[in-house]
Amino acid sequence: MLDLLVHASQCRFSHCQYLNCCKVNGLIRHGIQCKIRSSGGCVLCKKMWYLLQLHARACKQSECHVPRCRFRFERTSTGESNSQQRAAVMEMMRQRAAEVASSSG
């Protein structure tokens, strides 16, 4: 599943060969648009944050494209607060969703 997350974070095809690539990209888009959020009890957001956290713990790449992963490395050098990190992650996810939407249409 984590390999699929890495793939989906980089995939630009609307009809990808990976079976669940579109589903993972849909979770990313949902996380951007959801008004309830993980803290409010949204099950889909909780699943996505769980996957992102699992990936970030295991990832050894300094130039990873998975949302939130690269902030694990930047956090120690910049000292950003959690709210600043969260805002930066959400902005990156918005940009990613816009890229996916424009390539599929």
Report the length, in residues, of the chain.
105
Quick one: pLDDT band at residue 17, thresholds 50, 70, 90?
confident
Q: What is the pLDDT of residues 22-42, one digit of tens each?
A: 888 888 888 888 889 878 889
| Mean pLDDT of the residues in the chain | 78
The helix/strand/coil state of 69 is: helix
pTM of the model: 0.59
- Residue 35 has phi, psi (to 5 degrees) of -90, -20
